[in-house]
Structure 1
Amino acid sequence: MAGTYTHVTLPTDVTGEKADLLTLLTDQRAMFLITVRGLDDEQARRRSTVSELTLGGLVKHVAQVQADNATIIVERDENAVFDPSRMGGAYELLDGETLADWVTAFEKSSEEFDKVILEVGSLDELIPQATAPWQPEREWWSVRKMALHLLREIAHHSGHADIIREALDGQTTMSALRAG
């Protein structure tokens, strides 16, 4: 599809706004995964900037965010409360975890989220969001807003990942994309 950096083929015959959202999500995810192409677990764990973020930790985090968002849309829990204690280790590859396992989880969570978007009746459907210490009042977001928020989350972390990868070994996403 024109307007994407990567080759995007949607898994089903979908049109309109859902096709647009899924195309951009698929393209952004592919760009994000370029940053970890060819890395081993040690490299995926290595801090290459002043940040605590690592490439493996970012893949893990985004995989979990996608899975969580799919669950939120499907379950629609009006009493959900975000538990900050779940964040321990969310941005790092822990002992026994591998980059390959989290890339697989990332791909699976991508498929699950896209399936939810395809199956939802309308992107206007309102979904209750979990309350949190920084958001004590319940908010209701449209499925559209949740998909756009996920796109922003992936793009945000793609920027982090590109900087971390460039500091690690000089590779940038765009140069890797041009190289095939």
Structure 2
Amino acid sequence: MLTHKEVLTRYLQNQRDALLWKVDGLDEYDLRRPLTPTGTNLLGLLKHLASIEYGYFGDVFGRPAPEPMPWMEDDAEDNADMFASADESAEGVIGFYHRACRHADETIAALDLDAEGFVPWWGPDRGHTTLQLLLVHMIAETARHAGHADIVREAIDGAAGLSARNGNLPPGDAGWWESHRDRLQSIAEQFRD
């Protein structure tokens, strides 16, 4: 039987893997394309999650990131952690994500679930926390952004689902999905004002 820590770590890793699948096989252009009105893009999601992995499993427990993150400084451009600048390569951002996850995993392995940390950006009233709470928080945060990545990737090339081996979607070819979408649109039309 798995320990509580092993269960939490497994769920976090599953979400990380789902996110990494969403960037697999795409070129620099598609990885950077802002496909929502707020500019959501795949490299930005990775950069953001890497930054917060370093924050929650690094800074909070006295293990700061071993590399600079100028986009997280107080004087950084708004939302700078949510996109890759022109001088940041896709390979560099993906590598940054892998390094942040390794750093986080080292912290997780070294501490007990009840290890205490302090999240300064949560403020003095909420900032005191434990490794267990932060694992749950990061699972939720990573799952949320993996969902964003799923939608962005589907908009790019139609790839959707949980992983390359498990789409976790009903079987259907392009025609079936088009028919399904059309049916949903016709239902929605019944509620148009």
TM exceeding 0.5: yes
Q: Does 2:6 align with 1:24?
A: no
Task: Please name the residue that 2:52 is paired with.
Answer: 65
Q: Which amino acid aligns with 1:166?
A: E
Q: Is the Cα contact below 8 Å between 2:60 and 2:119 reproduced in 1? A: no
Shift of 1:124: 1.1
Give structure 2 stretches of 5+ with no counterpart.
Answer: 65-71, 168-193
1:124 aligns with 2:95: no
**Does the residue aligned with 2:38 lie in a helix, a strand or coil?**
coil
Distance 1:131-1:24 versus aligned 2 partners, 3 A rule: closer
Aligned partners of 1:20, 1:72: CA distance in 2, in Å?
23
Q: In 2, Cα distance between the equivalents of 1:129 and 1:114?
A: 18
Q: Say which of 145, 151, 155 aligns to 1:157.
A: 145
Aligned match of 2:183:
none
1:148 and 2:136 equivalent? yes
Is the Cα contact below 8 Å between 1:55 and 1:161 reproduced in 2? yes
Q: 1:9 maps to which residue? A: none
Question: C-alpha deviations, 1:45-81, integer Å up to 9, x for none?
Answer: 112233311011101111111111222233189xxxx
Give TM-score scaled by structure 1 length: 0.78
**Contact 1:73/1:116, CA 8 A, preserved across alignment:** no
The worse-fitting range, judged by mean Cα deviation, of 85-94 and 160-169 is 85-94
TM-score computed with the length of structure 2 as normaliser: 0.73
Amino acid at match of 2:110: E
Q: d(CA) in 1 for partners of 2:163 and 2:63?
A: 41
Separation in 2, partners of 1:131, 1:157: 20
The runs of 5 or more residues in structure 1 that have no matched partner are 1-14
Identity value in percent: 27
Q: Please provide the CA RMSD for this pair.
A: 2.4
Select the residue among 4, 23, 38 that pairs with 1:36: 23
Paired position in structure 2 for 1:169: 157
Query: Which one has a bigger Cα radius of gyration?
Result: 2
Aligned to 2:89: 98
